[in-house]
Structure 1
């Protein structure tokens, strides 16, 4: 027996191929669409993973086991639900929260290097070295001054994603050399 005039193994395989193709498309082009919902389990990646898991398990059980079609469907839905919850809570949720925690507020007081020159009354770009790598951010002069490329700057203020910076100058204080802001 089967559905839509097809044997169940073939139906599971068609659903698996379609869900796999849609998952690949959603991974590549899903960033262009905003999929934020009130209930995050309705995210297309989560739903497509559920269908992919269910059809793969159903196909394997139909070809390798001697269960009835309804028991294979029930087992594959339960197993897909379990695997989908594991995927969501162990992979997708931590990745999405890690992406949203990169704040620029703790950058005030750090030293950066200008990578794109900052024109007078304009914007450029600075590179900030952190423990996890290098971050590049939009910057402007704190007093609207021009700052050349490769200058060391101090991040004075952060406002709406823009860093307000001042040039650093090397000042010799007795035996120790320290960085200080140029006034």
Structure 2
């Protein structure tokens, strides 16, 4: 039984060392091979820590306690599972959430709503503030339909061209009633 514990301990430690040193290289070679195993608890950091902990706790319990080998096996499994859960919720889950980008691409702008901050003349440029997930962004804007658009008007982005957003009024004014 002690051979099993030592094998798990050394194997887990070697896996951790190899993945630390050559992780990017191996990840490039094996990219997409294990996508069908996308369960969070099968991530390498969790698996390696569980195997290493199982081996280490098994070694310590079998050497320094008088517990029988079946009880040592069960306790080692429970310790490994407990540490894996702690690693998942204390490290892996928070790191997954921190990888979200707040950047955007100009190709995402058409259809976004905003407001004119500098008036847009019919044949010139003004400025609009567009509401994005990451916050408000300012863009140079031109009128898509060739109309003057005053400050404070709600707009929708129709197109982007050469770094300039082409916008149109969200609600057109009915000029027949004025």
TM-score (normalised: structure 2): 0.51
Deviations 1:6-34 (A, max 9, x none): xx1x4422321111110222234344245
Equivalence for 1:27: 20
Separation of aligned partners in 1, 2:103 and 2:47? 33
Query: Which structure's relative contact order is higher, taking Cα pairs within 8 Å and 6+ residues apart?
Result: 2
Q: CA RMSD in A?
A: 2.6
TM superposition shift of 1:82: 0.7
Separation of aligned partners in 2, 1:17 and 1:91? 23
Deviations 1:106-165 (A, max 9, x none): 38339xxxxxxxxxxxxxxxxxxxxxxxxxxxxxxx747xxxxxxxxxxx77xxxxxxxx
Deviations 1:63-121 (A, max 9, x none): 1111111100000001110110110111111112211x2220338339xxxxxxxxxxx
- Greater C-alpha Rg: 2
Structure 1: runs of 5+ lacking an equivalent:
3-7, 111-141, 145-155, 158-183
Paired residues of 1:27 and 1:45 also in contact (CA < 8 A) = no
Equivalence for 1:55: 55
4+ long deviations beyond 2 Å = 26-38, 105-110
Equivalence for 1:15: 8
Equivalence for 1:178: none
TM-score (normalised: structure 1): 0.50
Equivalence for 1:104: 103
Equivalence for 1:66: 66
Separation of aligned partners in 2, 1:59 and 1:97? 36
Q: Which has the higher strand share?
A: 1
Structure 2: runs of 5+ lacking an equivalent:
105-133, 140-160, 166-178
Equivalent pairs, count: 107
Separation of aligned partners in 1, 2:88 and 2:44? 12
TM superposition shift of 1:60: 0.8
